[in-house]
Structure 1
Amino acid sequence: MANEFPQAMVIGGSDSDGSAGIQADLHSFFMRGVYGTVALTAAVAGNSYGIHDSVTLPLPFIAKEFDVLADDLKIRATKTGMLADADLINVVADKLEQYDFGQLVLDPVIVTKHGALLLESAAFETLKKRLIPIATVMTPNFYEAEHIVDRKLTSKEEIADAARELQQMGAKNIMIKGERREGAETVDDYVLLESGKTFWLPAPFYDTDRRNGTGDTVSAVIAAELAKGNDVESAIRLARAFVTEAIGHPIAVGHKYGPINHWANEPQRPQNN
Structure 2
Amino acid sequence: MTTSTDSHPFPINTPIVLTIAGSDSGGGAGIQADIKAMSATGSYACSVITAITSQNTLGVSAIFPIPRDHVESQLDAVFTDLNIVAVKVGMLADSTIIQVVASKIKQYQPKFLVVDPVMVATSGDLLLEHSAISTLKTELIPLADIITPNLPEGAALTGSSTPETEQEMSAMVDELRALGAKAVLLKGGHLEKNENSNDLLILNETTTLISAKRFPTKNTHGTGCTLSSAIASYLAQGNDLIDAVKLAKTYITQAITHADELEVGNGHGPVHHFFAWNQAEKSDAQQ
For normalisation by structure 1, the TM-score amounts to: 0.90
Q: Which one-letter code corresponds to 1:6 in the other structure?
A: P
Residue 93 of structure 1 pairs with residue 102 of structure 2: yes
| CA separation of 1:265 and 1:176: change in aligned 2, threshold 3 A | farther
Residue 192 of structure 1 pairs with residue 202 of structure 2: yes
Equivalent-residue separation in structure 2 for 1:91 and 1:239 (angstroms)? 28
Is this contact kept in 2: 1:242–1:265, CA < 8 A?
Answer: no
CA drift of 1:229 comes to 1.4
Q: Give the secondary structure class of the aligned counterpart of 1:131.
A: helix
Q: Give the secondary structure class of the aligned counterpart of 1:262.
A: coil
CA drift of 1:57 comes to 1.3
Residue 220 of structure 1 pairs with residue 229 of structure 2: yes
Q: Which residue of 1 aligns with 2:173?
A: 163
User: Which has the larger displacement, 201-210 or 232-241?
Assistant: 201-210
| Cα deviations by residue, 1:53-82 (Å, 9 ceiling, x for unpaired) | 221111111101111112111100001111
CA drift of 1:98 comes to 1.0
| CA separation of 1:114 and 1:72: change in aligned 2, threshold 3 A | closer
Q: Which one-letter code corresponds to 1:17 in the other structure?
A: G
Equivalent-residue separation in structure 1 for 2:110 and 2:264 (angstroms)? 34
Matches for 1:109-188 after TM superposition, within 5 Å: 109-112=118-121, 117-152=126-161, 153-188=163-198
Residue 48 of structure 1 pairs with residue 48 of structure 2: no
Question: Aligned to 1:261, which of 254, 272, 287?
Answer: 272
CA drift of 1:118 comes to 3.8
CA drift of 1:261 comes to 0.5
Matches for 1:201-212 after TM superposition, within 5 Å: 201-212=210-221
| Cα deviations by residue, 1:193-215 (Å, 9 ceiling, x for unpaired) | 24x23221222222211111100
CA drift of 1:179 comes to 4.2
CA drift of 1:5 comes to 2.9
| Cα deviations by residue, 1:240-263 (Å, 9 ceiling, x for unpaired) | 111111111122122221100012
Equivalent-residue separation in structure 2 for 1:184 and 1:197 (angstroms)? 23
Equivalent-residue separation in structure 1 for 2:109 and 2:195 (angstroms)? 42
Is this contact kept in 2: 1:113–1:141, CA < 8 A?
Answer: no
Q: Which residue of 1 aligns with 2:5?
A: none
| Cα deviations by residue, 1:161-186 (Å, 9 ceiling, x for unpaired) | 42332222210111000042344322
Equivalent-residue separation in structure 2 for 1:167 and 1:182 (angstroms)? 25
Q: Which one-letter code corresponds to 1:163 in the other structure?
A: V
Structure 1 residues without counterparts, runs of 5 or longer: 268-273
Equivalent-residue separation in structure 1 for 2:125 and 2:43 (angstroms)? 33
Is this contact kept in 1: 2:122–2:222, CA < 8 A?
Answer: no
Equivalent-residue separation in structure 2 for 1:131 and 1:121 (angstroms)? 16
Equivalent-residue separation in structure 2 for 1:29 and 1:45 (angstroms)? 23
Equivalent-residue separation in structure 1 for 2:197 and 2:87 (angstroms)? 26
Structure 2 residues without counterparts, runs of 5 or longer: 1-11, 279-287
For normalisation by structure 2, the TM-score amounts to: 0.86
Is this contact kept in 2: 1:28–1:221, CA < 8 A?
Answer: yes
| Cα deviations by residue, 1:103-139 (Å, 9 ceiling, x for unpaired) | 1101001245677654333200000000110110110
Q: Which one-letter code corresponds to 1:254 in the other structure?
A: G
| CA separation of 1:197 and 1:207: change in aligned 2, threshold 3 A | same
Equivalent-residue separation in structure 1 for 2:250 and 2:277 (angstroms)? 12
User: Which has the larger displacement, 51-60 or 234-243?
Assistant: 51-60
